[in-house]
Amino acid sequence: MVEKLARATQWLEKLVAMDTQNGSGDEIACTQYLAEALRVHKPDNLIIETVGRSRGKFESGYVYAGWGKADMLLNVHIDTVPASAGWSADPLNLRDSGDRLIGLGSSDIKGAAACIMAALESHRPTNLGILFSGDEEHGSEIMPEVIRRGHFGSATKAIICEPTSCKVGRQHRGMLAFSARFTGRGGHSSLADVTERPLLDAARLGAAIGDYGDKFIDFGEDPFKGLCTNIGYLKSDGSYNVIPTDTEIKYSMRPPPGDNVALRASDLMAITDRVAPNAEISKIVELQPFASRNVDDFANVFGDKFNLVDLPYWTEAALLSAAGVNCVVYGPGNLDQAHKPDEYVLKSQLVEAIELYSGVISGDYSDL
C-alpha cells in the first residue's frame, strides 16, 4: 500500500499542477490529459467531449472510459473553485506536510482522481465506467450534457466522488438561487419621495423571502430541517444621500431531500410578483435534492466500511439519480478543508480510498 500511496501522490501532484479553476482555468487540457492516461488501460470505449458553457467564453468537457458492460460508474469532477487569498504558498504546487498533502483541489476532489488512476495501474477494470467531468463547482452544465448524450455507459450504479472523509453519502439538500435587479433614475436623496427607489425595493423583496423561509424553519426532519433560506448579496450604486440607479440582490434556499424544488421556485416567483413586480429576475440554479435510490445495493461494495452519512452540500449525484442511476457519494477529503486556503487531504484517507476504488475497478470486494 505504501507503493500505491506513492503513485497516488505522483498523480495528485500532476493534477494539482493543472489549473482547472472554474471560470479561468483550462479544464479541457485536463480532460485531454486524463483521456491519454486512460487510453493506456485499453478501454473498450473512450469518449472525449468539449462542451460550451452559457457563462462567459470558457469551455469545459469530459472524458469517459468504459470496460465491458460498465454497469458501475466512478465519477470525479476535475474543476476546482478559484484559489482564495490566504494561501501560504503556490496553490498549484502540491506540498507534503507529514500526514497530509496540501494543494488546490486536493480535498475537493482531485485526491479521488489520483487514487483512481493509481488503482488502475494494478487492477484491470471489469464492467466499469470512469467519468472525469468539468464545471461542477459553479453551474454543473457538463453533467446534464453527459446524461443527455448517454455517455455514462450502461451504469445502473454510480459512486460520485466528493470529500466525505471516506464515508458513504446517502442524501443531501437541493439548491435554488435567483438574482433580482432593480433600476431607476437615481438622484438626490431629497427627492426620494418622488423617485424610484431600487435599493428599498430590493430590501423589501429580501425581507419577504426571509419571512417565507422563517415559516418553514421546522419543516422536514433532522438533519435537514428548514429550507436554509439565505439573502447573500445586496449591492447598489447609491449612498446615504444618493438614490441608487441600480441594485441587485441574490437569494437562495436549499430544499431538503424529498421536497419539491419546482414548487419552491414557483412560491419565490409569486412573492416577487407581489412585492417587487418591476424586478428583473434571473434564475441562477435550480438543483434537485438527492437521496440514494437504494443505498443497501452498495453494502457489498463497501463491506465493513459501509458507514452512512447525510451530506450538508449538493453534488451531481442528484442529476444522475434523476436519470435513473442508483448513486452514493464517497471520496477522500473533508468538507472542512474544501474551498479553503492551504486545502489538504489526509494520506490515511487516500490509502483508504485506493483500497475501495481498487475493489470497484476489479469488481472484487472480498478484501474490503
Q: Is 288 left (phi over 0), alpha (psi -120 to 50) or beta?
A: beta
How many whole angstroms separate alpha carbon 219 and alpha carbon 260? 13
pLDDT band at 29 (very low <50, low <70, confident <90, very high): very high
Q: Where are the domains of the chain?
A: 2-172+289-362, 175-287
Is residue 230 packed enough to be buried (19+ CB in 10 Å), middle (13-18) or exposed (0-12)?
A: middle
Architecture of domain 175-287: 2-Layer Sandwich (3.30)
Predicted local confidence at residue 368, as pLDDT: 47
Q: What is the mean pLDDT of the chain?
A: 95
Q: What is the pLDDT of residues 212-241, one digit of tens each?
A: 999 999 999 999 999 999 999 999 999 999
Predicted local confidence at residue 57, as pLDDT: 57
CATH code for the part of the protein at 2-172+289-362: 3.40.630.10
The model's pTM: 0.91
pLDDT band at 52 (very low <50, low <70, confident <90, very high): confident
Predicted local confidence at residue 281, as pLDDT: 97
How many whole angstroms separate alpha carbon 320 and alpha carbon 147? 7
How many whole angstroms separate alpha carbon 261 and alpha carbon 253? 10
Q: What is the pLDDT of residues 265-322, one digit of tens each?
A: 999 999 999 999 999 999 999 999 999 999 999 999 999 999 999 999 999 999 999 9
Bridge partners, residue 179, by sequence: 250, 282
